[in-house]
Chains A and B, each alone.
Chain A
Amino acid sequence: MCETDQKTVKKMPRVATGDRAILPEGAKTIPVYIMGKMYEVPETLTIMKAMEFAGFKFLRGAGCRGGICGACPTVYRMAGDYKLHFGLACQTVVEANMYLAQIPFFPANRAIFNIDEIGGLPEAIHALYPEIFRCVACNQCTKACPMDVDVLGYISALKQGNIEKAAKLSFDCIQCGLCASRCMGEIPQYHAAQLARRVYGRYIVPQAEHLKARVAAIESGKYDAMLDELAAMSKEDLEKKYVEREREPDFAEIGSWQPKETRYL
């Protein structure tokens, strides 16, 4: 199902080939060991594309293919070295003599809560995830994080009751589960972090008052007639209005600019 436009390819520089990588001229192949079995793959590819090159078709272990969904956490070790490395298969480039395995799923306990009732105090989080106090500060979680999140840092912050700090430190978490897979205290770090961020967003960050006013105006029907007017307008009139509409200047301080036309605000 992957089309290539042959004419385009001939006439112009190559611009695309779907997701099959273009190999640089004279690309070398290197040996990698996928779950212990050796495959020769071109260097410069990511682990994900190298596995596809080797003939694997993903079901688990591939998602967004862009480093944000957490479907492809991978553990690897270089031949002759004791050290474990962690990365996302879609983001990590293969190296010669790498021994790798994907960990597409790792079991982690998740507590149930009601966001409308939980409140903004750390005790509620402590009650739902008492296992965070089993942390021995070994820092394996942080070392395993493919997003360079300070996992130990946010778990420590949570223990100390600092929800804001935990929310901010954990913001880049993609919930791949590598932290939980390495945890001596068997803590589901990423679920606790998600709870902390939701509590922070709901109860600690000031709510958007301007938004409440807008919601009330919409629910009172203030804009219904205006939208009906636009929906019924001829294309010509609509186009004229579109071209004539005022544009808020790029560098105007927030709240400092008002349009000349205020009837439709």
Chain B
Amino acid sequence: MTALKVFLSRALDLVRRRQRNERFSEEVQAHLELLTDEYVSRGMSISDARVAARRMFGGVDQAAAAYRDQRGLPVVDALMLDLRFALRLLARDRGFAVMALLVLGLGIGVNNMLFTILNAHTLRGLPIPRPDRVAYVSTFDHRNTDRGVSYPDFEDLRATAHTLSGMAAFPNAPVTVGDEGRAPDRFDGSYLTANALDVIGVQPVLGRTFVPDDDRPAAPLVALLGSGAWRARYGGTGGIVGRSILINGAPATVIGVVPDRSGFPSTADVWLPLSNMPGLGTGKRDARSLRVVGRVRDGMSITDARAEIESIVSRLAREYPETNKDIRARVVPINERYLGRLTDPAWLAFMTVGLLVVVISCANVANLMLDRAVHRAREIAIRASLGASRGRVVRQLLIEASVLAALGGLLGLGLATAGVRLFRTAIPENVLPYWFDYSVDGRVLAALVAVSVATVFVFGLVPAVSASKTDVNQVLKDGGTGSAGRHARRWTTVFLTAEFALTVVMLANLALGLRIARPTLPSDVAIDKADVLTASITLPPEKYRTPGQRAEFYRRLDERVRAIPMVSAVSVASALPLMGAAERRLDVAGRANADGEPAPAVWTVAIGPRYFETLGLSLTRGREFAEEDGTPAQAHAIVSERLARIHFGDRQPLGQRLGLSSPGAAGAGAEWVTVIGVAPALRHRPGPDPDAIVYTCIALGLSTIGLYAVTAHGVSRRTREIGLRMALGAQPHQVRRLVLRRAMAQLALGFVAGVVCTVGWDRMFSSGRAEVRMTDPPSLAIVAAVLIVVATLACLVPIRRATRVDPVAAIRHE
């Protein structure tokens, strides 16, 4: 208690330093005056009395020193002194400080931005109370394919499971919301059991959530709106609760509004009671479309719940063998199901990139610090000769590094925030699941601080230790550079080599991505996006029950849109180019798949007539679909050139028969279609991450700055030597070669190290894409070309400076 009081008092002194000092000198003054008064009253002369008083008081300086030690915290005092000194030095070396801060801020910023995204996708989890107590129930079959739960199975689970206090099912479906006399809007929707929002822990902002009566088969239709839908369609005004609207064309009453950021299960904006789900009443035990969550009852654990559900599901498998044979349950905490796995190659690559960027920028700053230390060798030697211990010198340099890291961290936080905002605006609203939260939370801040602190040791420690080894005598004797130069150069080479190696890996990765993407690039360009408008619609299944009704709708839509004078062509498709597609298994008539090998996967899109015409593309062979294609007698397909090349080779693709089946059931139940056309390769897979381009540019920029820094400092360190050579008759081209030789040797070293790393990276991450590899000569040639260009750019300024060295001034230069 007393110790704490003393500490607080001393800590307070740090702030009140001046007051404390004044108080002491005033007290001493008063004391001396009182003593003097006494001696005078004893009959001494004033001047004698003063001398006697001083003698009696003892050493004023010793007392002052003792007093200073007693007040404040001496360690902090010394640190503050170092800190002030560091700030002064950085302010003086503005060029160095700005470059180092930019590099560091960029590195920390990119790292923190990546961490923020990683945090949102893989660590934060659902914003619900006690997510660890919410179990996610799904099933899997003998192929280990993930399945949902059928409604009859769900009813059995709900009736017999005692470990879960509530169970809810939530299939997703787009929902059309309409009002009399107004065009309808399409929202993402979800069908929920009455207790679902209680299980998840969502409270309405207006009205109420579902009650069991809402979920009875003949109950009047009610709907819950999300705040997003409420604002978008109803202006966020009152009077929404109790209002009658049209849901998928049927009248429904709005009973409540739920808050923002609760679009459970993912992006939902409208919720309806489960009993309204189309097809639910058919009671098929093998229609496994429900996702199920439940809250674990108090006193039970998720393990208890898992055991119970597993036993119920295996009992169902025994009771209903024709539908449930080999169906087993999977019960996991809900976050485990929702969150990305950190061990996924994609996230591993993500983290590696984040780490690499920070390491690269640290290496750069370390290079800058090392070269600066060379210039400071004299200062450090003088400090050492005045009695500064090695530890003291290292501490001083580390404090300078810490100041840089702290400022760099702040800059990084700013850049990361801006970067995340950019990332966020690049993604359309309503596509991201509601629980992705990219705001800065404690974890993001902790990561920022940890990374910033770590950078001090990565970029600060080696230069500090290296500088502290300065040989005092030698430095003071030969006036400036000394042996620190040699240590520094060795470390510089190590850092820069590592930096270029990392850049090579990232460039090779990007080159690979570009080469994979290349075959589809011409077709991307061929679509003149400026003139193409898109819109998405969903037909309410209640209103359009049969394929015939749906086809009729699309025919009429086509007719009426085409009638608009400004429209030259119109078509429909199940997915837009580059927006993904449905995966199917492919069988080719007359060709057996190898035993045990799964049938190859293809991406399929359903399209209407004039699809390619509308996109401004023409087929390379055959014809487009006509109105009658797609009927059972006219099961036709158009394939891409790529598919034709891979599966038919030189044979005529038109007239070939293809079998398409869903991924789970290859062979059996395949739908056979005849090829009637061949289209240029359009891309329906998600492309390589465009962010990779940004990151590689950053890495490349950083290593360019690194090479620039090292070459520039190399030149200024050798100013004297260059001047001497020029005085002895060296020509500018010889000087140029002198500078370039080192830079290119460095580049070659980095490139070789990079290729070695790339081979390792390639082995680790890209086993799947055997057709193009990161270590192909074309990839490496691209990388080498890019590196040589930037290295030349990095050397331009230093070379100019070197060839303009004035021999006379240079020889005097210290």
Q: Do A and B bind each other?
A: no
